[in-house]
Amino acid sequence: MNLFTKNEEKKMKLDEINIKIIRLLRNGRESFSTIASQLDLTENTVRSRVKRLEQEGVLSFQGVIDPEKIPRHQIMIIGIKLSSIDLFKKGKEFAGLKGVSKVSVVTGRFDLILEVLLDDDFGLPEFYTQEVARVEGVQTLETFVVYKGFNQNIPYVL
């Protein structure tokens, strides 16, 4: 089984121009006209390509935060071992829980890895008792406190 070609038919093909546009949008504030002039394209071409990338779910624009710069907020990484093998369904279920910013289905000793944003009003005990407790089939959990994160900008999910 090739992990990198699974569901390829559902993925949008990205050409070199789309990749260059995405790279130039990395800071999220570059204007279409600036990108167009850097790539020797028209502004309308850039605009229509970005619109298509958004429609296909390849690209999205959202406000993100650096949790280390917000007082009383903490990132936790949680490894989850499930009692069932319905990993994608459980991954989507965990993605809908309060505080969860990312969910990954992984190989290794865990089935899922969660990135969770917590604060003084909604901490680890609240996350486990109010959110995780509602999900059936959790066999074990292991919590990792992020002492220092690098490049950890996430959406505000609390």
- How does pLDDT run across 95-104, given as a tens digit for each residue? 999 999 999 9
CA distance 113 to 106: 7
- How does pLDDT run across 28-60, given as a tens digit for each residue? 788 999 999 999 999 999 999 999 999 998 998
Residue 4: the pLDDT is 47
CA angle 63, 142, 102 (to 5 degrees): 20
b/e map of 90-106 (b: 16 or more CB within 10 Å)?
bbebbeebebbbebeee
* pLDDT of 10 above 70: no
Q: In this structure, what DSSP letter does residue 69 have?
A: G
Burial class (CB within 10 angstroms; exposed 0-12, middle 13-18, buried 19+) of 124: middle
Domains 8-55 and 67-145 share a fold: no
CA distance 131 to 95: 11
**Would you kindly state where each structural domain of the chain is located, as residue ranges?**
8-55, 67-145
Cα-Cα-Cα-Cα torsion 13, 14, 17, 23, nearest 10 degrees, comes to 160
Residue 62: the pLDDT is 82
Contact 78, 43 (CB under 8 A): no
67 closest CA partner among 157, 153, 158: 153
Helices (H) and strands (E) in the chain, counts: 5, 4
CA distance 130 to 60: 30
Assigned token pair, 18:
């789309």
* pLDDT of 61 above 90: no
Q: 8-55: which CATH topology?
A: Arc Repressor Mutant, subunit A (1.10.10)
Mean pLDDT within 104-130: 96
Mean pLDDT within 25-29: 81
Q: 67-145: which CATH topology?
A: Alpha-Beta Plaits (3.30.70)
95 closest CA partner among 78, 83, 110: 78
Residue 1: the pLDDT is 45
